[in-house]
């Protein structure tokens, strides 16, 4: 009998510790490696209507899989309270994710609540969302009207047969493309399209995707297949380095490198020499970018993760639901970030078959 995979949301997380002395946030919080806190990714659901082979494979996330009950999820009010505290510590960008975030009922109400939050500098909060695009056509206008700035859409193939095999629920490419058009028409931009590249699965889609989105309003990004969680059976042999992706595209569609838009940007940017747009590559396997990672992740039931590849979360919900003051929670957040020294991608080894791999949090649980 094969060994049962135990996902991280089955494991206990320690309560987030409250420091003994309160402190006022300065907006200049840095971790143990000098990295500021600028980005908060909030998972609003652990459910998804796709079963992508690299994220939520059917053999693990089957009809008997136990998702979190609704009472365990952070409410919109709790999420907004936490977001306000993070903004005071320097967070400038919030990304809503999942699972598939558009499965969370009335999500546009949460978007409106977050949009109403002010920042210490007076600059608008950068409020974004990542989605598989399946519900985007019907939700785009409401999300924009509620205050969402932009979306990132996952699309792993342009060929319909390949895409249906990858999402494993027989969802058509045309429906995602329709969602992209609806988001563009609603003004949710700039819109990024993310393609996870897995050798032997969809590598033949690199050039078709590049050709299709070249000259369009959408920015295409290629992501190296990552060893997130334990359920996807990750193997280094299935990783296509971003350098190879750029070589393949550049051989037909000449490219030149472009500088980063901001500190901590995950994608290396390349522009087409004829001026018809750009592509990006996210190389967390072959070219780690831990040194300037500014991201903290909040799971759907209120656990904080200081790294995408974390083996343990910290329970923030316990503080929210035991009448702790904002000062207590703010101090706990600051203390956690100051102690952060994660740099998994920089210390990754090719052999990831050991116990640590089995305990890593699933991407479907805290978002990408």
State the distance between the two ends of the chain, measured CA to CA, in whole angstroms.
Answer: 31
What pLDDT does residue 288 have?
67
Closest CA to 162 of 208, 115, 94: 208
The per-residue pLDDT for 349 is: 45
Classify 366 in phi/psi space as left (phi over 0), alpha (psi -120 to 50) or beta. alpha
Stretches where the chain sits below pLDDT 70 are: 1-12, 226-234, 264, 288-289, 344-368
Query: Rounded CA gap, 256 and 279, in Å?
Result: 10
Q: What is the pLDDT of residue 346?
A: 59
| Dihedral angle of Cα 44, 46, 48, 51, to the nearest 10 degrees | 150
Report whether 242 contacts 282 (CB < 8 A): yes
In this prediction, residue 334 carries a pLDDT of 96
Nearest to residue 27, comparing CAs of 113, 136, 122? 122
- Cα 360 from Cα 60, distance rounded (Å): 15
Give the rounded percent of residues in the chain with a pLDDT score beyond 90.
68
Distance separating alpha carbons of residues 122 and 127, to the nearest angstrom: 15
- Percent of all residues in the chain with a pLDDT value above 70, rounded to a whole number: 86
Domains of the chain: 8-366 (3.20.20.70)
Average of per-residue pLDDT values in the chain: 88
Residue 264 CA to residue 296 CA, distance in Å, equals: 12
pLDDT of residue 241: 92
The predicted pLDDT at position 359 comes to 59
Contact 270, 256 (CB under 8 A): yes
319-343 pLDDT, tens per residue? 999 989 999 999 999 999 999 987 7
Structural element, H or E, at residue 255 = strand 255-258
Distance, in Å, from the CA atom of 365 to the CA atom of 98, rounded to the nearest integer, reads 7
Contacts made by residues 54-60, CB under 8 angstroms, sequence distance 24+: 54/196, 54/198, 54/225, 54/232, 54/234, 55/228, 55/232, 55/362, 55/363, 55/364, 56/231, 56/362, 56/364, 57/168, 57/231, 57/232, 57/233, 58/168, 60/5, 60/7, 60/231
Tell me the pLDDT tens digit for each residue of 308-319: 777 789 999 999
Say what the pLDDT of residue 368 is.
59
User: Are the CB atoms for 307 and 337 separated by under 8 Å?
Assistant: no
Write down the pLDDT at residue 264.
66
The pTM is what? Answer: 0.89
Condensed to tens digits (0 to 9), the pLDDT of residues 40-49 reads 999 999 999 9
């Amino acid at each position: 009998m094969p060994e049962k995979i135990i996902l991280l949301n089955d494991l206990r997380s320690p309560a987030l510790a409250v420091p003994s002395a309160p402190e006022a946030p300065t907006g200049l919080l840095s971790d143990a490696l000098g990295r500021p806190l600028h980005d908060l990714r909030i998972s609003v659901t652990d459910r998804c209507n796709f079963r992508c082979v690299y994220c939520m494979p059917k053999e693990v996330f089957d009809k008997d899989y136990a998702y979190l009950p609704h009472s365990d999820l952070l409410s919109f009010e709790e999420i907004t309270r936490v977001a306000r505290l993070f903004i005071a510590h320097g967070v400038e960008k919030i990304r809503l994710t999942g699972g598939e975030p558009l499965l969370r009922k009335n999500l546009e109400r949460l978007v409106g609540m977050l949009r109403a939050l002010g920042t210490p500098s007076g600059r608008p909060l950068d409020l974004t969302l990542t989605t598989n695009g399946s519900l985007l056509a019907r939700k785009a206008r409401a999300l924009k009207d509620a205050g969402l700035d932009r979306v990132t859409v996952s699309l792993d193939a342009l060929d319909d047969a390949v895409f249906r095999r990858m999402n494993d629920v027989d969802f058509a490419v045309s429906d995602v493309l329709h969602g992209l058009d609806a988001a563009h028409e609603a003004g949710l931009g700039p819109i990024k399209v993310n393609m996870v590249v897995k050798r032997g699965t969809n590598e033949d889609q690199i050039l078709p995707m590049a050709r299709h989105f070249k000259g369009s309003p959408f920015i295409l990004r290629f992501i190296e297949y990552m060893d997130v969680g334990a359920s996807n059976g990750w193997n280094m042999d299935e990783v296509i380095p971003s350098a190879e992706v750029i070589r393949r595209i550049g051989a037909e569609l000449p490219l030149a490198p472009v500088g980063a838009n901001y500190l901590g940007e995950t994608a290396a940017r390349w522009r087409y020499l004829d001026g018809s747009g750009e592509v990006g590559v996210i190389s967390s396997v072959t070219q780690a970018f831990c040194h300037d990672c500014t991201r903290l992740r909040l799971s759907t039931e209120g656990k904080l993760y200081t790294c995408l590849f974390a083996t343990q979360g910290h329970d923030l919900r316990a503080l929210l639901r035991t009448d702790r003051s904002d000062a207590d929670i703010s101090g706990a957040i600051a203390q956690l970030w100051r102690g952060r020294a994660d740099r998994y991608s920089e210390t990754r080894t090719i052999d990831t078959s050991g116990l640590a791999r089995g305990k890593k949090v699933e991407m479907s649980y805290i978002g990408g």
